[in-house]
Amino acid sequence: MILDEILNNKRVEVEKFKEKINIQNYIKEARETFYEDRNFKKALKPRSNGEAVAFKICSIIAELKKASPSRGIFIHDYKPEMLAKKYENSGASAISVLTDKKFFMGDPKDIIKVKNAVKLPILRKDFIIDEIQVFESKIIGADAILLILKAISKEDYLNFLSLAKELSMDVLTEISDEYELDIALESGAEIIGINNRDLTTFKTDISKTMNLAKKIAPGIIVVAESGIHKRQDIEVLIHRGINSFLIGEALVTSEDVESQIKDFLEPYPVDNYSDI
């Protein structure tokens, strides 16, 4: 399974990283690190066009990634800070930066580059399996982190969730089935991402978001992740109460990324709209 391979490699990476640093000093540095307030959660709040709430406007977390294990390299001349500026100028609400090195050809330093280039909140997307990565996320400037419930135990999840809040970072909790959803809800997760991608096969199906989101109470932000390639995909979900979308492949492979985002953000009529 691809996920098992990724996690096995991540454990090796993390242990090598910990050998290179003074852990106590590193933790102290993280606790003393402060950045301007970029509220990731607030950036994803549902919006409308105002007048009679005739339209819904979605929030897009635009993702930066050079490659994926299933599709290979997307961008050979990868300059994350330049692409991030295009995302910001086109109306994205937040930016996701994939920092896994081996499988996605990212780097934690990419967050530093993006942080200096734009003013949007930044999500660190990686396979976080150790609390040292949470501290690292704070140091490099992440405003939020992704915690994947399929990749960690419930105990580790609760620990990382608490630590992130302590360090003033939001958490996007990723779930892919009802069992993981129950854990997220019990923990008080405020932002829940539903991954439409099967992490064992890497195939996508947006109906997963439709089905699982029905069990999530109003007030919790739901993010549809993966499998969003065209405006119709968003339209299907926004009429079922989903307002936030994490989009990567459709953007990094687009010939005109700015036009692509603007098309996604064009208001959606609320005729026959019903909340989940």
Domain ranges, ordered by start, for the chain: 2-269
Evaluate whether 64 touches 83 at the Cβ level (below 8 Å). yes
pLDDT at residue number 73: 96
Evaluate whether 265 touches 91 at the Cβ level (below 8 Å). yes
Least confident residue range of 98-112, 144-158, 191-205, 231-245:
191-205
Strands 55-57 and 47-48, bridge-based pairing: antiparallel
pLDDT at residue number 56: 82
Q: How far apart are CA 177 and CA 226, in angstroms?
A: 15
Least confident residue range of 23-27, 104-108, 195-199, 209-213:
195-199
Q: Say what the alpha-carbon torsion angle 31, 14, 9, 168 is, to the nearest 10 degrees.
A: 0
Burial of residue 10 (number of CB atoms within 10 Å: 0-12, 13-18, 19+): buried
User: What mean pLDDT is predicted for residues 122-133?
Assistant: 98
User: Is the confidence at residue 241, as pLDDT, over 90?
Assistant: no
pLDDT at residue number 52: 47
CATH architecture of 2-269: Alpha-Beta Barrel (3.20)
User: What mean pLDDT is predicted for residues 220-229?
Assistant: 95
pLDDT at residue number 203: 79
Residues annotated as part of the active site: 63, 65, 125, 174, 195, 225-226
Q: Residue 140 has which token pair?
A: 């490099």
Q: Residue 87 has which token pair?
A: 């995302």
Confidence of residue 271 (pLDDT cuts 50, 70, 90): low
pLDDT at residue number 259: 97
Helices 131-140 and 2-20 cross at an angle (nearest 10°) of 70
Percentage of the residues of the chain whose pLDDT score is greater than 70: 94
Residue showing tokens 């599709």: 71
Helices 109-117 and 80-90 cross at an angle (nearest 10°) of 40
Confidence of residue 54 (pLDDT cuts 50, 70, 90): low
User: Is the confidence at residue 275, as pLDDT, over 60?
Assistant: no
Confidence of residue 85 (pLDDT cuts 50, 70, 90): very high
